[in-house]
Amino acid sequence: MSSVGTPDPNSGWLSDEELAEARSRLPLLYVEAIPVRVDGLGQVTEVGILLRANAVGAMSRTLVSGRVMFGETLRDAMYRHLEKDLGPMAFPQLPLSPVPFSVAEYFPFPGAQYTDDRQHAVSLAYVVPVTGTCDPRQDALELTWMTPIEAASDAVAAEMEGGRGALLRAGLASVGRLF
């Protein structure tokens, strides 16, 4: 299974070679976000899932995700990646607490629940309401809004890499939208 790599035009903290070396020796910390729309009662009505092409041109669905940089708070990292993937007018409503709904551990070998060919990574996952207009940027080709039932379907899970379909279902369950 190949992974979707998100190029970061402002990744001045590590060169490509230094990042490859770090990935071969250390688990890296990531944040992942499931963008949602909510109604007046705070119930999730829509789930946003990104469509991306990986380095070899294969299409897949995924969540907003990215590394936490040295010295960066979780909130700042989450905001940066939401803006990078969804655009500056998405207006995410970041959670009040930095406690994620799940901690996903990605491994570079088969058999793990979550996989990433590039590295061992630990990801803190959040459900984040967005209130503005989402205009995918960077390597995100499209943001598709789905009902929670559609987003939790086997068909969508099959289009998601690295076990993210299970993570999406866990996120929906954490906000009472998966029964």
Using CA atoms, how far residue 78 sits from 8, 35, 55, 62, 153, in Å, is 14, 11, 24, 15, 26
- In angstroms, the CA 170 to CA 121 distance is 18
pTM score, two decimals? 0.87
Vertex 156: Cα angle to 75 and 113 (nearest 5): 65
Vertex 82: Cα angle to 107 and 35 (nearest 5): 85
Sites in the chain below the pLDDT cut of 50 = 1-4
The answer for residues whose C-beta is within 8 angstroms of residue 33's C-beta and 6 or more apart is 63, 64, 65, 78, 81, 82, 92, 125, 126, 127, 128
User: What ranges do the domains of the chain cover?
Assistant: 16-174
pLDDT of the residue at 23: 81
The one-letter amino acid at 14: L
pLDDT of the residue at 2: 41
pLDDT of the residue at 19: 80
Read off the pLDDT of residues 33-52 as tens digits, 9 standing for 90 and up: 999 999 999 999 999 999 99
pLDDT of the residue at 179: 63
Q: Which CATH number fits domain 16-174: 1.10.3720.10, 2.10.50.10, 3.30.70.270, 3.90.79.10?
A: 3.90.79.10
